[in-house]
Amino acid sequence: MGNREWGRRTGCISFFPHSLLPTPQSPITMIIGRIIGNVVATRKDPRLEGKKLLLVRPITLTGEDESSYLVAIDTVGAGFREKVLVVSGSSARMADGLKDRPVDAAIVGIIDTVEVTD
């Protein structure tokens, strides 16, 4: 299973497989994932009011599910089981409408196809 880490600044738990954790050699900026559910938080930071939280499962390039998941703010109107493009860290706070908000992951695209050429 992945790495379970308690977020010091946000007070939330993140679940990332070791393969998705950034390293100095390979910083992670985008994740391909699939929407697997919604997250409802009746009490949250006021800057998140009106924002849709979705549960995303990272997937491999062949479309197989990874064993981890993450919560991301939806900026594109993604729906259940859709493949999405997720940015994390400071890139998430640059997504449309998320400047100065406490966000660590944002859905910034709905994927139509993925083509890998070796």
> Is residue 103 within 8 Å of residue 60, measured between CB atoms?
no
Choice between 115 and 39, residue whose per-residue pLDDT is larger: 39
Between vectors from CA 59 to CA 94 and to CA 73, what angle results, nearest 5°?
30
pLDDT in tens, 49-81: 999 999 999 999 888 999 999 999 999 999 999
> Which pLDDT does position 23 carry in this prediction?
53
Structural domains in the chain?
A: 27-110 (2.40.50.220)
What pTM was estimated for this model as a whole? Answer: 0.75
**Who contacts 31 (Cβ-Cβ below 8 Å, separation ≥6)?**
20, 56, 58, 70, 85, 86, 87, 88, 105
pLDDT tens-place string over residues 17-41: 444 555 555 455 789 999 999 999 9
Task: Return the SS3 of 31.
Answer: strand
Token representation of residue 94: 């640059």
85-101, pLDDT tens digit by residue?
999 888 888 788 888 88
